[in-house]
Amino acid sequence: MALKTKVKINRITNLTDARYCSGMYVDVLGFSLEEGSPHYVSPSQFQEITGWISGADYAAEFTESDAYTIERKLADYPGINWIESSDLDTLIQLKNLGKELIYQVSMEEIESIVPKIELLNQHQITLHITSTENTLTIDNKIVIEKLASNVNLFLGFGIHPENASMLSEIPGLVGLALDGGDEIKPGLRDFDQLATILENLELAD
C-alpha cells in the first residue's frame, strides 16, 4: 500500500513511531540532532531506532547549528539522506555533502520567501512551511498553492484527517510534513490523528 503523496514525519523520538510510520510507507523520518532540543535523539538512540526499520529516508533536523557543527554531527548518524535547517546560508554551505536539503520557514515569515525562490531552485532546496497556528486559512492555502507552483514544497501545518487527502492534491506540492509524538510509556503510543491522516492518504489497491 502506497501513499498519495510524499510524507515526512518530523522529530521522531522513539521506535514505536518509526516502525509504525515505516509500515505505512512514510518517505522521510526526521530526527532532531541538535543537543538541547526537547526532541533530541542521541547517536545511540538513532542507531537503535533505525536498526529496526527499512525503506524510509532519514532527515537530520536543525534550527541554530552552523554548517561546520552539522557536518561533524552527521559523522555519528549513518544513513542520513536529508538535512533540514531554518538557516538558508547554512544549507547552501552543506550542498557539497550530496544530501537532499530542506529549508524550514514559518508561515508568519512567508514574505521573506519570495525573493529567495530563485536561490532555492538554483540549489535544489525544498521548502518546508510550518506555522505557530495549526490552522490553514483560505488565504494561507492560496499562498501555498502559488509557492508550490514555483518551488519544491512540504506543507507542514493545518493538516487534519478531514483535509489531508485534499491537500495532497495541491498541484506541485512535494508532500506533507507531520509531527511525531511521544510514547505514553515504552512501546505504547496513542497514534489517533496521525494514524487517521496516514490512512486517509493511502492509495486504494
CATH for 55: 3.20.20.70
Q: How many domains does the chain have?
A: 1
* Lookup: cell for 134: 495549526
Q: What is the pLDDT of residue 191?
A: 56
Q: What is the pLDDT of residue 204?
A: 74
**188 confidence band (pLDDT: 50, 70, 90):** very low
Domain span including residue 19: 6-200
Residue 205 in any domain: the answer is no
> In the chain, where does DSSP find H-type helix?
15-23, 43-50, 67-74, 88-93, 117-122, 138-148, 164-167, 192-200
Q: pLDDT tens, 127-171?
A: 999 998 888 999 999 999 999 999 999 999 999 999 999 999 999
Q: pLDDT tens, 38-88?
A: 999 999 999 999 999 999 999 999 998 999 999 999 999 999 999 999 999
Mean pLDDT of 110-127: 94
Is the pLDDT at 189 greater than 70? The verdict is no
- 112 CB-contact burial (10 Å; exposed 0-12 / middle 13-18 / buried 19+): exposed
Residue 140 in any domain: the answer is yes
Residue 1 in any domain: the answer is no
Mean pLDDT of 190-198: 78
**180 confidence band (pLDDT: 50, 70, 90):** confident
Residue 134 in any domain: the answer is yes
User: At 203, is the secondary structure helix, strand, or coil?
Assistant: coil
Average pLDDT, the chain: 92
Residue 60 in any domain: the answer is yes
Residue 91 in any domain: the answer is yes
